[in-house]
Amino acid sequence: MDLCLKEIIHNFTTNELLFYLDNLNLQLDQEDIEILKRSKISGPNFLHLNKEDLLRINLELGPAITLSVFISKINAGTVQQEDLIPCIMRMKRPYSEYF
């Protein structure tokens, strides 16, 4: 599977990004997802966030650290594709244009 996760996420709307994050095993709850939704975070915005940004939009410290580490891995290209396969398979049908 030739997957450039950064490019895929960059094209996500807010709803697509939230669906994606909600289907990963990042231990985010609905309150965390709702905070991102209220902040209108889309794919391009998401890739530029850091821990301080996430805390500023009122995410708790745990989810802020989790997301900032995940964002850093995406930007560095070090996310393991095997870790994403279950999530991608759930998303493949609604977002097949990206795969």
The domains of the chain, with CATH numbers, are 5-98 (1.10.150.50)
Contact 76, 5 (CB under 8 A): no
**Cα 18 from chain centroid (whole Å):** 7
Angle, alpha carbons 22-75-58 (nearest 5°): 50
Per-residue pLDDT of the chain (99 residues; tens, 9 = 90+): 345 788 889 999 999 999 989 988 899 999 999 999 999 999 999 999 999 999 999 999 999 999 999 999 999 988 876 666 666 666 665 555 555
Question: CA 76 to CA 24: how far, in whole Å?
Answer: 19
pTM: 0.81
Largest CA distance in the chain: 36
Q: Is the dihedral of CA 16, 17, 23, 28 positive or negative?
A: negative
